[in-house]
């Protein structure tokens, strides 16, 4: 068998993994790979304008498609520029493989030009990472990287490839299987524990399902919906879990936590049986931990055993894939019609109480006289196709989207939850649009965070990606300003975006379209126009500058201590 270079082996390995799209940016240390990829017509390389944008695009691609996202960058500053994107994917458990170039192995540790300890730098924010020291190891390591990224609790993996490894010769053989000593994710839940969980649920009077992003990552939304409807148990989700349960279902309570609904937060506070599925009890959800679900027996279903009782002590844990565990639960429930009917009768007063909370204290905002951001998001939801993919930046725009854009299916909502990365939404939308060229993809942005990666306008225009960017422009770093208003006596220290670009002219300068909206009566027409236009469109909504996100739970307070409008 003829030997090939490491760079050629790299491309062959991507083919073996079924990779069709790679996001990245070239540089000296990866020129050998870029020379080969030019002839790899079955793999589309998307040239972003910044390495952070490349990883966010790969992340958005992965969240929307369920496939592993791939990024390729050069050594030194190219690799270090990926760290924010890698940390974003790590916090939200997103399967991404990042390939970075490295100086030749003989130069490592010598402070060579564009050398950085990429493995050391990224070790805290990757699921695993590799430095390839021998070209013979390259196919195996790439196989392992994709396996680790996509199995168990997903996450980013980095593979650092020195220049001499790319040039070395190897007889290409791609492994069929992976065996990693000590890495064996548990996919099936303990059947006895599942029976104990069901016994607890069937005896409860005020049960609530609290679902997280794990439900979406495990493609278990259908099982969650079936289980909740079968048992008539209300459902709330985390920010990452939005879309995991249909928002138009009567059992839906809305998102819980710091900016959650009154009904969801009160339900979790009053429940006697909290069923956590694919969630990690993040501090933005729990608030004051010792007052979180104080009356509840807490059930926790998660594939990651290190998440069990990490933040909140649970009573009945099950380690396993969410989908598998819920399928086993549904199987156990078959033939238990009498017990199910008894539960439904028992919870009827509880459901009625929750309906009162939803009716009496819904999400609401003062319509005012100017453009309200909540109204803009409601109009986008009304006019966008049902399968539109929505990304957000981070801040008020993100929370208003979570509250007012009703998601009825999974993988339609892309946002940075754990790390809260400003600048995430636009490149993530680009990645989603690459994955689904025929779908509507919208980034709901703030005027501050859109500027973090606004250079990716060039990427959208170059590849004719018709991403629609809806900018909630309030002239502030809005969420920080809101905290300053509430907790720092209104001292707006460096949160005013007094100098910002003309987003319409900026979009046009890149070859995109721009629309400015300053009157509430023009909002609907502007959204319609943007959605109907070809190519990338920026819509600059000049909203009321000091609108706040409510409800809000102050930091460190219990989640039933809400500031309402």
The CATH number of 373-542 is 3.40.50.970
User: Could you tell me the two tokens for 96?
Assistant: 């991404």
Burial class (CB in 10 A: 0-12, 13-18, 19+), 445: buried
Alpha helices in 249-394 (DSSP H): 262-270, 283-286, 322-333, 337-360, 373-383
CB-CB contact of 54 with 85 (8 Å): yes
Residue 506 neighbours by CB distance under 10 Å: 18
DSSP-derived letter for residue 287 is B
**DSSP-assigned beta bridge partners for residue 96:** 69
**DSSP-assigned beta bridge partners for residue 476:** 496
CB-CB contact of 155 with 115 (8 Å): no
**DSSP-assigned beta bridge partners for residue 169:** 5
CB-CB contact of 376 with 368 (8 Å): no
Residue 82 neighbours by CB distance under 10 Å: 33
CA angle (494 as vertex; 490, 500 as ends), nearest 5? 120
The strand pair at 128-131 and 157-162 is best described as parallel
Residue pLDDT tens, the chain, 565 long: 789 999 999 999 999 999 999 999 999 999 999 999 999 999 999 999 999 999 999 999 999 999 999 999 999 999 999 999 999 999 999 999 999 999 999 999 999 999 999 999 999 999 999 999 999 999 999 999 999 999 999 999 999 999 999 999 999 999 999 999 999 999 999 999 999 999 999 999 999 999 999 999 999 999 999 999 999 999 999 999 999 999 999 999 999 999 999 999 999 999 999 999 999 999 999 999 999 999 999 999 999 999 999 999 999 999 999 999 999 999 999 999 999 999 999 999 999 999 999 999 999 999 888 999 999 999 999 999 999 999 999 999 999 999 999 999 999 999 999 999 999 999 999 999 999 999 999 999 999 999 999 999 999 999 999 999 999 999 999 999 999 999 999 999 999 998 999 999 999 999 999 999 999 999 999 999 999 999 999 999 999 999 999 999 999 999 999 999 8
**Exposure of 526 in the CB half-sphere (CA atoms within 13 A):** 27
Question: What pLDDT sits at residue 387?
Answer: 98
Residues labelled catalytic:
51, 113-114, 163, 479
Question: What pLDDT sits at residue 369?
Answer: 86
User: Could you tell me the two tokens for 467?
Assistant: 């991403």
Predicted confidence (pLDDT) per residue in 207-261, tens digit: 999 999 999 999 999 999 999 999 999 999 999 999 999 999 999 999 999 999 9
Distance CA 230, CA 558 (A): 31
Nearest of 145, 64, 43 to residue 97 by alpha carbon: 145
Question: What pLDDT sits at residue 565?
Answer: 80
Distance CA 299, CA 317 (A): 6
DSSP-derived letter for residue 450 is G
CATH 3.40.50.970: which residues of the chain?
4-170, 373-542
3-class secondary structure, 542:
strand
Find out if CATH 3.40.50.1220 is the number for domain 191-360. Answer: yes
Question: What pLDDT sits at residue 367?
Answer: 87
3-class secondary structure, 240:
coil
Reported as type and span, the H/E element at residue 254 is strand 252-255
Q: How far apart are the first and last CA of the chain?
A: 71
Distance CA 212, CA 321 (A): 13
3-class secondary structure, 129:
strand
Distance CA 114, CA 112 (A): 6
**Exposure of 547 in the CB half-sphere (CA atoms within 13 A):** 27
Q: Which residues touch 331 (CB under 8 Å, ≥6 apart)?
A: none
Distance CA 286, CA 560 (A): 10
Distance CA 355, CA 267 (A): 11
User: Could you tell me the two tokens for 9?
Assistant: 């082996």
Distance CA 209, CA 231 (A): 11
DSSP count for the chain of H helices, then E strands: 22, 20
Distance CA 288, CA 291 (A): 6
Residue 185 neighbours by CB distance under 10 Å: 14
3-state secondary structure 348-376: HHHHHHHHHHHHHCCCCCCCCCCECHHHH
User: Could you tell me the two tokens for 226?
Assistant: 């079936």
Predicted confidence (pLDDT) per residue in 94-109, tens digit: 999 999 999 999 999 9
**DSSP-assigned beta bridge partners for residue 158:** 98, 129
Reported as type and span, the H/E element at residue 98 is strand 96-102
- Sign of the dihedral defined by the CA atoms of residues 267, 269, 275, 279, in that order: positive
4-170: CATH class? alpha beta
**Exposure of 323 in the CB half-sphere (CA atoms within 13 A):** 11
User: Could you tell me the two tokens for 432?
Assistant: 């989603």
CA distance to 95, 96, 257, per residue, from 56 (Å)? 12, 10, 25
Distance CA 93, CA 77 (A): 25
Distance CA 285, CA 282 (A): 5
Q: Please give the backbone phi and psi of residue 161, each rounded to the nearest 5 degrees, phi first.
A: -120, 110
CB-CB contact of 463 with 435 (8 Å): no
**DSSP-assigned beta bridge partners for residue 237:** 211, 255
């Amino acid at each position: 068998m003829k030997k090939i270079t490491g760079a050629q082996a790299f491309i062959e390995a991507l083919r073996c993994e079924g990779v069709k799209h790679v996001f990245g940016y070239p540089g000296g240390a990866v020129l050998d790979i870029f020379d080969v990829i030019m002839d790899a017509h079955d793999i589309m390389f998307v040239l972003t304008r910044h390495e952070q944008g490349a990883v966010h695009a790969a992340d958005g691609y992965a969240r929307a498609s369920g496939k592993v996202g791939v990024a390729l960058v050069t050594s030194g500053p190219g690799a270090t520029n990926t760290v924010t994107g890698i940390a974003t994917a790590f916090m939200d458990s997103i399967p991404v493989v990042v390939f970075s170039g490295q100086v030749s192995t003989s130069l490592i540790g010598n402070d060579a030009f564009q050398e950085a300890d990429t493995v050391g730098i990224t070790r805290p924010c990757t699921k695993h990472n590799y430095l390839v020291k021998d070209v013979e190891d390259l196919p195996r390591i790439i196989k392992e990287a994709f396996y680790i990224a996509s199995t168990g609790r997903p996450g980013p993996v980095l593979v650092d490839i020195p220049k001499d490894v790319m040039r070395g010769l190897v007889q290409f053989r791609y492994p069929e299987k992976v065996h990693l000593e000590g890495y064996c994710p548990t996919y099936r839940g303990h059947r006895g524990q599942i029976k104990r969980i069901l016994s607890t649920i069937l005896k409860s009077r005020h049960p609530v399902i609290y679902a997280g992003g794990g439900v979406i990552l495990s493609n278990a939304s259908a099982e969650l919906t079936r289980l909740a409807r079968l048992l008539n148990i209300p459902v709330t989700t985390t920010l990452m879990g939005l879309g995991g349960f249909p928002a138009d279902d009567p059992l839906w309570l809305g998102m819980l936590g710091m900016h959650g609904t009154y009904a969801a937060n009160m339900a979790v506070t009053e429940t006697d049986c909290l069923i956590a599925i694919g969630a990690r009890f993040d501090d933005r959800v729990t608030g004051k931990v010792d007052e979180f679900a104080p009356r509840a027996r807490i059930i926790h279903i998660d594939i990651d055993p290190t998440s069990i009782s990490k933040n909140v002590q649970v009573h009945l844990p099950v380690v396993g894939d969410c989908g598998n565990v819920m399928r086993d639960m549904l199987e156990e429930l078959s033939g238990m019609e009498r017990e199910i009917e008894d539960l439904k009768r028992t919870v009827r007063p509880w459901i009625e109480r929750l309906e009162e909370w939803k009716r009496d204290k819904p999400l609401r905002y003062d319509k005012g006289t100017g453009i309200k951001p909540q109204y803009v998001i409601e109009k986008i939801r009304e006019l966008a196709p049902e399968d539109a993919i929505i990304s957000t930046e981070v801040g008020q725009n993100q929370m208003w989207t979570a509250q007012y854009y009703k998601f009825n299916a999974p993988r339609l909502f892309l946002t940075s939850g754990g790390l809260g990365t400003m600048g995430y939404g636009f490149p993530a939308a680009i990645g989603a649009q690459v994955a689904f060229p025929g779908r509507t993809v919208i980034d709901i942005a703030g005027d501050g965070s859109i500027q973090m990666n606004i250079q990716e306008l060039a990427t959208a225009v170059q590849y004719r990606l018709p991403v629609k960017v809806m900018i909630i422009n309030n002239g502030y770093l809005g969420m920080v300003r809101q905290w300053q208003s509430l907790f720092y006596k209104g001292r707006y220290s460096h949160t005013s975006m007094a100098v910002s670009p003309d987003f319409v002219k900026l979009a046009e300068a890149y070859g995109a379209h721009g629309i400015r909206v300053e009157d509430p009566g023009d909002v609907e027409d502007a959204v319609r126009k943007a959605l109907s236009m070809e190519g990338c469109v920026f819509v600059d909504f000049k909203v009321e500058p000091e609108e706040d996100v409510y409800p809000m739970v102050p930091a460190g307070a219990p989640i039933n201590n809400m500031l309402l409008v």
